[in-house]
A and B are shown apart, each in its own frame.
Chain A
Amino acid sequence: MIQVRYFASLREALGRSSESVDPPPSVTTVASLRDHLAARGEPWNALGTARNLRAAVNQDMVGMEAPVAAGDEVAFFPPVTGG
């Protein structure tokens, strides 16, 4: 299982802050996980169309090409705006 978390405007668009996902073997990277989740239709397609989508794996910010594996915590969110 992969624990997926959503934040800020993306969390609101999806109507949830987290979910547990058991992805198919084709999901090996952040990008392929995003595509797998987005393919479920409304409202999940927001993941595929979000501008400047950012991601973290195990609480480290990463690029979409970063690998993911069972047991990881993967987060998707918009660009950060703190400070």
Chain B
Amino acid sequence: MTGDLIDIREADFDVGAETAALTAGDPAAGAVATFVGLVRDRNDGGGPGGVAAMSLEHYPGMTEKALAGIVEEARGRWDIRRVRVIHRVGDLSPGDRIVYVGVSSAHRGEAFAACEFVMDYLKTRAPFWKKEQTPDGARWVDARESDDQAAERWGGGGR
């Protein structure tokens, strides 16, 4: 749909501009749900300062294809209007925005559900990998079982 976006990039994004683009020129849209993910300064269970920096690797080509598939699946499940997905790659610092998902729809239920669905599937199906810089050196982030469970609750099997 016009106004849809899937963008993998190093640069930051403007949350206000992206959210405005979800409904610009679309008077049938009555609801917008957005999610913004940030780089944290700690791991799960760790203290502040445990993560000094982060770098993100991805699989160019497959990333875009996987995200397009996820958006298409969301469209099959809910009556939504526009979907914009931005994911940053490269070097990031704590506090940086890392991912944006925005969904517009006629009513709030579809936008809320589709936004969460896209994030849950992105977490388990889009080929991104985080590497943290810690005081003890660099380490690849382990996948979390809770992310698999979040994707599985939608049915259809998160991988």
Give the B-binding residues of A (Cβ under 8 A).
5, 7-9, 52, 54, 56, 59-61, 75, 77-83
Q: Which residues of chain B come closer than 8 Å to A54, judged between CB atoms?
A: 159
B126 close to A82 (CB less than 8 A): yes
Contact among A7, A59, A75, A83 with B122 in the assembled complex (CB-CB below 8 Å): A83
Majority secondary structure of chain B interface residues (helix, strand, loop or mixed):
mixed
Q: Are B141 and A81 within 8 A (Cβ)? A: yes
Docked CA distance A77–B130 (Å): 13
Partner among A9, A77, A80 whose Cβ is within 8 Å of the Cβ of B125: A80
A77 surroundings in chain B (CB, below 8 A): 59, 127, 129
Q: Are A83 and B140 closer than 8 Å at their CB atoms?
A: no
Is B56 on the interface with A (CB-CB < 8 A)? yes
Given contacts A56-B127, A78-B129, A83-B128, 7 further A-B contacts (CB under 8 A): A54-B159, A59-B59, A59-B65, A59-B66, A77-B129, A80-B124, A81-B128
Contact at B130–A82, with CB atoms within 8 Å?
A: yes
Taking the nearest CB of chain B, how far is it from the CB of A60, in angstroms? 7
Contact in complex: A8, B126 (CB < 8 Å): no
B122 CB contacts on chain A under 8 angstroms = 82-83
User: Is A8 touching B129 in the complex (CB atoms < 8 A)?
Assistant: yes
Q: In the complex, how many angstroms separate the beta carbon of A12 from the nearest chain B beta carbon?
A: 8
* Minimum Cβ distance to chain B for residue A55 (Å): 10
Q: Report yes or no: B99 in contact with A83, Cβ–Cβ below 8 A.
A: yes
- CA–CA, A59 and B128, complex, Å: 13
Q: Which residues of A contact B126 (CB under 8 A)?
A: 80, 82-83
Inter-chain CA distance A79–B146, complex, in Å, is 13
Q: Which residue in chain A gives the minimum CB-CB distance to B98? A: A83
A-B contact pairs, 15 of them (CB 8 A): A8-B57, A56-B62, A59-B65, A60-B65, A61-B125, A61-B159, A77-B59, A77-B129, A78-B140, A80-B124, A80-B126, A80-B128, A83-B87, A83-B128, A83-B147
Which residues of the partner chain B approach A5 to less than 8 Å between Cβ atoms?
59
